[in-house]
Structure 1
Amino acid sequence: MSHDGVGLRAVMRSVAFLTAGALAVPALAGCSAKDPAGKPLAEPDVAPVARAMVADGGSLGWAVDSVPETLNTFQADADGTTTRVAQAVLPSMYRLDANGRPQVNPDYLEKAEVVETEPKQVVLYKLNQQAVWSDGREIGAADFAAQWRALSGKDTAYWTARNAGYDRIERIERGKNDLEVKVTFGRPYADWKSLFSPLYPKDVMGTPDSFNDGARKKLKVSAGPYRVKKVDRKDDEVTLDRNPRWWGHPAKLDEIVLRAVPREERAAALAAGKLDLAEIDPESVKRITGAAGPKRGTGSTPLMGPGSNLGAADSLRSWAVANGSDEEAADDEISAREQQRTAAAAYARQQQALRGFEVRRSLEPAYTQLALNGADGPLADERVRRAVARALDREALASVVLTPLGLPAEPVGSHLALSGQAAYADNSGALGGQDTAEAQALLTDAGWVRGGPLKEETKKGEKAAGAEGEKSRDKSEDGDDDTYIVGEDDKARREADREKKKDPKHLAQDGKQYTNKLKQGGAPGAYAPRGTAAPAGTAAGALAKDGKPLTLRFVLPSGPGSQTLGTVADRISEMLRKVGIRTEISKVKDESYFKDHIASGQYDLALYSWPASAFPATDGRPIYAKPVPAADGSLNVEQNYTRVGTDQVDQLFDQAMTTLDERESRGLIRKADSRIWAAAGSIPLYQRPQLTAARKNVVNAGAFGFRTPVYEDIGFLKKGARPVASPTAE
């Protein structure tokens, strides 16, 4: 799985700020003549061709993170694969274009419009007269009404993950004929276009039993270019085949096989012919681009694969041991060398197979943020949160992730939309950019003084930490909690490295160990276990208050795919160190990262991602709503895992959700975003890269960006035809 944070809209829906009024908020950019929404930073990269150039037939292997636990997108455990299946087999009244904006889907809908606003909001849907379910029944008002009743929240027997929008509907009825559906709202709802996408048949939504259980493992009735043929949990596959009752353009492929393959195994699965299309990580990008050979003008391709990172000293040592007088050591070394040769040969065969693939690149409709937990500790003080934000060079952080991938490295300027989407505007000015002096002034104002006295128990604790170093090191190797203090432990590691270089015997005997460390943890000096002793005198200039140093716990996942987050966290920690803030990086198991740390508030700083919704008034509110006490005394945070919120932000969301004037609603969303920036509970950093490996003859598929895939047009290029190069294609 990807460890860059939580999933997209399906996950966003399924998960059950101190005031900033004193801060100056700039006038809304929406008042100017120029549209502040701008354009997407990267276009879709899908090898687009006309349908006439796509061959008929074939089976496409498409990698997914998992076989879904449910095929019902409205349940709490729905995931990204649930959404992908629903897009291919169920009606959606609207789908997103390349700018991330909803457009009428003509296969299901001729037109939808608000026909009345007084005394109630009324929306009239005029359906495509050819639209039918796979059992032959027309799609109509009965399906709309069943979905509304199931998701309205009035019947608790339905185990729904969300009811936003549906809870505002008063009634649904047939219009002048069977092709018209009239929806009357009890309360105005600006995001009405978000409803009925996807639309399930009344057979699924009609009763709690069919909703709760019937659609989890299979969909008997569908209405898309494909239908669900089989969900095979043994082989981790979902097979979709052509829907014979589909009235639109016929699907080009015979079937799409969604195969659950871990990200770190996808390059091998591509090479083995098990996949034709797969989102991949940056390491796999290097493999595929390397398989294609050197780029023009570069002369050569860097060595990759088993043994490629061994230096001359390692090779010399290996030869010496294999030919030495110690027979047991020689046998072991010869065996190891043979295993390496076998692995290298297998790798070479894979690289040869990967020459048939290319990397398609865009940016996901999601962004990575730095979350600051404002529930307690130093970050409960708004001044400290703002100081953290002002210490960050967001352009540099975006560049370290995106520039090596050949993608635009621009920091995200909004919490609620991305460049190109209607509600986007860069409101980061409400908080301000990188300013070390301002960050230090905010910390001083909050009472944090450089070189302040530390309590005696703190100093004793530091000594104890050094004595317990070996114990903590053992714990970190189990993957439970790998922590280091930026600056202090980095300095200790550098000093140890310098000492090692003074003794030539270490160069040979430590070569293999050093190589293994690189494989496991990245660059030397990046991590040391909790308990590693800090060099004497390091804390002399640290910020302190009430006898305690200003140290923030930075929690990260530790599994495959988390390397990018680790790199970003290192850069952030270095930036914070320059203003006097220390960080303790804790690497935790992937399965506990979100549930046990982010959602439960067991962190100070964390990196995770949010999707950028086309309907920010609806989907953004639970993420930034002010936490409120629940009946049992606990704090109801909804999805606001930073625990930072304001009444003003809530009011702006409420107004945006009830304003039917789209321009006015966008202005309110942008104003809310300015207030969210000012509260500094979360700092958007960069739009996530979308990297997709595709067989070279796969067309109309790849890195989709904002755009909803047109499944019936995906297929294999006819022999002799040529795809149209997209702006971001290689």
Structure 2
Amino acid sequence: MAALVAPVAALGLVLTACGGGNSGGNGLQDAGTQGVKTADINEQPLDKLKDGGDFKWPVDQLPDNWNYNQVDGTLLDGANIIGAVIPYVFSQNSDATVSLNKNYVTSAELVSSDPQVVEYKINPKAKWGNGRQFSWEDFSAQATALSGKNTAYQVSGTTGYEDISKVEKGTDDQDVKVTFGKKFAEWKSLFSPLYPKELNSDPEAFNKGWAQKPAFTAGPFKIKSVDQTGKTVILERDPAWWGDKPKLDTITYKVVERSALPDAFANGQIDFYNLNNDINLFKRAQSDANTVVRQSSYPDYTHVTFNGASSSILADKDLRLAIMKGIDTVTISKSILGQMQKDTAPLGNHLYLKGAKTYEDHSGPYKFDANAAKAQLDKLGWKQSGDFRAKDGKQLKVRLVIPSETPISQQTSQIMQSQLKAIGVNLDVQSVPTSEFFKNFVNVGNFDLTLFRWISTAFPIGGSKGVYYYDPNNINQNYGHVGDDKVNQLLDTASQELDDTKRAADINAADKEVWALGHQLPIFQSPGGFAVRKTVGNFGSPGYANTPYDYVKMGFLK
């Protein structure tokens, strides 16, 4: 099962279904077969790993906000750092199941279904970096901040939290009772990550207090340094951590330009990198004696977001759908994936990815059809005038914003440019600095079309509702401002449906409506390839087990 949470700033080189174990060499797997591993992380017993070492982790950028629940905080790079220092009540496993993290909460039980009540028992050892013990008030403050009731909180999503009617103290401060006013089937998605009440109790603190760095943390690692000039974050073991001791001494996250990743790896400056669907990187990694290519059924897909806001030329739904029909995703997918895996069929669902038993392909009515696209544009009054169409003296020109330093983004945009010119649409490709791509363009709707990737989670509603639900007063991650009451209703119904089969049907019904709105155009699912140093254990291509990663077990072989 898949849902959207973290956007990735690239197709080219990077930003949550189907057994695990060691890779049998550098050969690539076919991500379209059942032979794909759920995870490929060189799993090792801890006694086979060295005690200590610095794991060097490349990122596109440092977090725009260390509060993952704030609208600027949802980037994958940020999540990959935050997960080592901030609590997750439930952790995802590689096969999209979830497990309770007993370092933080010893039990989490549904104690009543009508009304729905969940009781959490906090681990009495759990303390924040300021010395304060975890309490029910941390849960209460986060539920209030993310409820959507106070719009001064600039939240990335309200799903689930908006359904909570009250959070109460149980038998003591470490006993939390959460009562839902409306049923929320995916309650295990909540409080992951969990922030301290000091961050959530005030909108100013929520929005800006952790923009530069966390005030304090509560994980196996803590912040050693944040260097905005050198674009580096160093985490170190937290001596106050009450759980199992991490194998690594430190984790160093450093911004590395995507084009420089292979050389940085070869020079020992990083210990892995995402191959990001780039065949040249795949081939180079395969030829490196120090490298193994690890691949899994990875919850990551590339898409085009359409901007339906009144300020965009694509505010007209019929125009969005006509342009969608002019984009040949089969050709794009073959071009990008053809040498990496057999299955190059485009993705046909926004809410479930391939490998999920509930995946259905709903793309049929919206597949590439240049003649139908031309006829629709004619009908809308956009008449051919030279190379491109025009209406009322205005050329049909749409602006596609992509991040710089992303070869696959550039390749994809060039293919789209040629395809859309063939139906009379002028695609104006604007390449912007990767560090500004989300904050100054995507998040604020400064585009007509944009290309990026969604990293998925094990919770289709918990992760995706904020992307497809439309509330003009609370956009969340619906960056294109596209939606209607029908999608809202279907997502609301699904979120309250406790029966798995019925909920999947509701989610698939919602996906059909998302297609009909011209909201987003899925292109392809990632092959999930990572180049990893051969000496690294318990890390690689994690499947769904990246929310958060198991930072305690990763390390270097003896």
- Contact 1:6–1:608 (CA under 8 A) maintained in structure 2: no
Matching residue within 336, 350, 353 for 1:418: 353
- Matched letter for residue 109 of structure 2: E
1:650-688: per-residue Cα shift (whole Å, max 9, x none)?
Answer: 221222233344433332121010111123332111124
- Matched letter for residue 351 of structure 2: L
In the alignment, which residue of structure 2 is the partner of 1:524?
none
2: CA distance between counterparts of 1:40 and 1:427?
25
Matched, 1:621 2:465: yes
Q: How far does residue 573 in structure 1 lie from its aligned partner after superposition?
A: 3.9
- Contact 2:182–2:496 (CA under 8 A) maintained in structure 1: yes
- In the alignment, structure 1 segments of 5+ residues that lack a partner are 10-37, 293-354, 455-538, 631-635, 719-730
2: CA distance between counterparts of 1:234 and 1:163?
34
- Matched letter for residue 507 of structure 2: I
2: CA distance between counterparts of 1:648 and 1:158?
27
- Contact 2:11–2:409 (CA under 8 A) maintained in structure 1: yes
Alignment of 1:266-277 (within 5 A): 266-277=261-272
Q: Matched residue pairs, number?
A: 530
1:116-164: per-residue Cα shift (whole Å, max 9, x none)?
Answer: 233x321112344654546776534233233334444556776655544
Matching residue within 85, 93, 114 for 2:110: 114
1: CA distance between counterparts of 2:542 and 2:431?
32
Matched, 1:224 2:219: yes
SS of the residue aligned with 2:80? helix
Q: How far does residue 412 in structure 1 lie from its aligned partner after superposition?
A: 1.2
Q: How far does residue 94 in structure 1 lie from its aligned partner after superposition?
A: 1.1
In the alignment, which residue of structure 1 is the partner of 2:19?
none
1:16-36: per-residue Cα shift (whole Å, max 9, x none)?
Answer: xxxxxxxxxxxxxxxxxxxxx
Structure 2 CA distance for partners of 1:288 and 1:395, relative to 1, 3 Å = same
In the alignment, which residue of structure 2 is the partner of 1:307?
none
SS of the residue aligned with 2:426? strand
Alignment of 1:566-585 (within 5 A): 566-576=410-420, 580-585=423-428
In the alignment, which residue of structure 2 is the partner of 1:504?
none
Q: How far does residue 98 in structure 1 lie from its aligned partner after superposition?
A: 1.9
2: CA distance between counterparts of 1:53 and 1:198?
30
1:617-645: per-residue Cα shift (whole Å, max 9, x none)?
Answer: 344334334474x7xxxxx8654444443
- Matched letter for residue 522 of structure 2: P
Structure 2 CA distance for partners of 1:422 and 1:188, relative to 1, 3 Å = farther
TM-score (norm: length of structure 2): 0.80
1: CA distance between counterparts of 2:155 and 2:476?
15
In the alignment, which residue of structure 1 is the partner of 2:98?
102
1:42-90: per-residue Cα shift (whole Å, max 9, x none)?
Answer: 6433222222322222121111223335433233432434322321122
Structure 2 CA distance for partners of 1:45 and 1:175, relative to 1, 3 Å = same
In the alignment, which residue of structure 2 is the partner of 1:56?
51
1:265-288: per-residue Cα shift (whole Å, max 9, x none)?
Answer: 333332332222333553772674
- Contact 2:421–2:427 (CA under 8 A) maintained in structure 1: no
Structure 2 CA distance for partners of 1:682 and 1:184, relative to 1, 3 Å = same
Query: Please, what is the CA RMSD of the aligned residues?
Result: 3.9
In the alignment, which residue of structure 1 is the partner of 2:244?
249
In the alignment, which residue of structure 1 is the partner of 2:40?
45
SS of the residue aligned with 1:713? coil
1: CA distance between counterparts of 2:489 and 2:271?
48
In the alignment, which residue of structure 2 is the partner of 1:125?
120
In the alignment, which residue of structure 2 is the partner of 1:526?
none
Matched, 1:565 2:409: yes
Q: How far does residue 170 in structure 1 lie from its aligned partner after superposition?
A: 2.8
SS of the residue aligned with 2:79? helix
1: CA distance between counterparts of 2:496 and 2:557?
47
Structure 2 CA distance for partners of 1:601 and 1:242, relative to 1, 3 Å = closer
In the alignment, which residue of structure 2 is the partner of 1:528?
none
Matched, 1:65 2:63: no
SS of the residue aligned with 1:246? coil
Alignment of 1:644-663 (within 5 A): 644-663=482-501
- Matched letter for residue 365 of structure 1: P
1:366-394: per-residue Cα shift (whole Å, max 9, x none)?
Answer: 32223344557885555554444344443
2: CA distance between counterparts of 1:137 and 1:637?
34
- In the alignment, structure 2 segments of 5+ residues that lack a partner are 1-7, 17-32
Structure 2 CA distance for partners of 1:407 and 1:109, relative to 1, 3 Å = farther
1:352-373: per-residue Cα shift (whole Å, max 9, x none)?
Answer: xxx4233334465332223344
Matched, 1:712 2:552: yes
SS of the residue aligned with 2:44? coil
* Greater share of helix: 1
- Matched letter for residue 589 of structure 1: V
- Contact 2:96–2:545 (CA under 8 A) maintained in structure 1: yes
In the alignment, which residue of structure 2 is the partner of 1:396?
331
Structure 2 CA distance for partners of 1:204 and 1:605, relative to 1, 3 Å = closer
Matched, 1:90 2:86: yes
2: CA distance between counterparts of 1:593 and 1:82?
15
Q: How far does residue 590 in structure 1 lie from its aligned partner after superposition?
A: 3.0
- Contact 1:366–1:609 (CA under 8 A) maintained in structure 2: yes
Alignment of 1:291-302 (within 5 A): 291-292=287-288
In the alignment, which residue of structure 1 is the partner of 2:305?
371
In the alignment, which residue of structure 2 is the partner of 1:148?
143
Alignment of 1:1-400 (within 5 A): 2-4=9-11, 43-78=38-73, 79-118=75-114, 120-128=115-123, 131-133=126-128, 138-152=133-147, 161-176=156-171, 180-205=175-200, 211=206, 215-217=210-212, 219=214, 221-280=216-275, 282=278, 285=281, 288-289=284-285, 291-292=287-288, 355-362=289-296, 364-374=298-308, 382-400=317-335
Structure 2 CA distance for partners of 1:39 and 1:681, relative to 1, 3 Å = farther
Matched, 1:589 2:432: yes
Structure 2 CA distance for partners of 1:266 and 1:126, relative to 1, 3 Å = same
2: CA distance between counterparts of 1:604 and 1:435?
21
Q: How far does residue 171 in structure 1 lie from its aligned partner after superposition?
A: 2.4
1: CA distance between counterparts of 2:411 and 2:324?
18
- Matched letter for residue 107 of structure 1: N
SS of the residue aligned with 1:359? strand
Structure 2 CA distance for partners of 1:271 and 1:608, relative to 1, 3 Å = closer
SS of the residue aligned with 2:324? helix
Q: How far does residue 713 in structure 1 lie from its aligned partner after superposition?
A: 0.9
- Matched letter for residue 398 of structure 2: R
1: CA distance between counterparts of 2:150 and 2:327?
47
1: CA distance between counterparts of 2:212 and 2:446?
35
- Contact 1:416–1:423 (CA under 8 A) maintained in structure 2: no
SS of the residue aligned with 2:338? helix
Which stretch shows the higher mean deviation, 249-258 or 176-185?
Answer: 176-185
- Contact 1:72–1:215 (CA under 8 A) maintained in structure 2: yes
1: CA distance between counterparts of 2:517 and 2:141?
41
- Contact 1:99–1:421 (CA under 8 A) maintained in structure 2: no
2: CA distance between counterparts of 1:433 and 1:72?
39
- Matched letter for residue 104 of structure 1: L
- Contact 1:101–1:421 (CA under 8 A) maintained in structure 2: no
SS of the residue aligned with 1:655? helix
Q: How far does residue 711 in structure 1 lie from its aligned partner after superposition?
A: 0.9
SS of the residue aligned with 1:612? strand
Matching residue within 659, 665, 668 for 2:503: 665
Structure 2 CA distance for partners of 1:423 and 1:130, relative to 1, 3 Å = farther
In the alignment, which residue of structure 1 is the partner of 2:27?
none
SS of the residue aligned with 1:701? coil
Structure 2 CA distance for partners of 1:664 and 1:126, relative to 1, 3 Å = farther
- Contact 2:307–2:314 (CA under 8 A) maintained in structure 1: yes
Which is greater in Rg?
A: 1
Q: How far does residue 571 in structure 1 lie from its aligned partner after superposition?
A: 2.8
* Greater share of strand: 2
